[in-house]
Amino acid sequence: MFCDAHIGDSAVKNDAAGAAKDSFLITDARYRIAVQISVADPFWVQVREAVLRQAQHVNCELLTLSTAADGLREVTNAAQIYEELQVQNIHAVICNSIDQTLLAMLRTSAVPVVDASESTITHSLYTSRRGLYDAAYDIGVWLRGRIVPTATVLVVGGFDEMGLSRLAGIRAALTANPTVTVVHISCEWQYDDGYRAVADWVRTHPADECAAVVGLSDSL
């Protein structure tokens, strides 16, 4: 389940190279942190690299979870992952979204979770990204000044609670003009997902015109 990616005063092992997954270096690292940031697009590659670089400046050992492509967002083996985290004496978890069952288990052990994605969860041991509402609102204000008052705007991306703050921000800015119509097209975050979703909308709404298309992530 784990790949060794120790970063500290002693050495760095490349977890991506498939180094020994069942053995760990015995080090004097003060903290052991599990990192599960899936790298499905360039943004998350940069986030993960930033975590690895920052770890070089603190006394910690990073352990990378070898889970599904979606990371910890939806898992069927939460109890197994939790048990392994306990065995490895993990002090914290850094991820980009996390399964609710696993999160509840981690709370019982007082393990802090840093979620690099956005979430509506509030808990003293859980923190997630903030400020996306304001960023989306600013984009909406800019766009509102450049479209006709009766325009239809397609907002692409997001599902479940993923992307909700961005959607709320841009919707609030655009609908400050009550004659503007905002259509949200839910989809995953990859370009191909957005392209197919928009193409489907155009195909099923041949009589409708849109003045603008806004993607809720860089990859869209």
pLDDT at 66 over 70: no
pLDDT at 200: 94
pLDDT over 70, % of the chain = 82
pLDDT at 139 over 90: yes
pTM score, whole prediction = 0.68
Whose CA is closest to 37, among 103, 101, 93? 93
Q: pLDDT tens-digit profile of 148-170?
A: 999 999 999 877 667 788 999 99
Residues 6 or more apart whose CB falls under 8 angstroms from that of 218 comprise: 41, 42, 43
pLDDT at 116 over 90: no
The pLDDT-based confidence of 215 (bands split at 50, 70, 90) is very high
pLDDT at 25 over 60: no
pLDDT at 108: 87
Calculate the alpha carbon distances from 92 to 13, 39, 82, 103, 127 in Å.
20, 20, 12, 11, 12
Question: Do residues 9 and 28 make contact, with C-beta atoms less than 8 angstroms apart?
Answer: yes
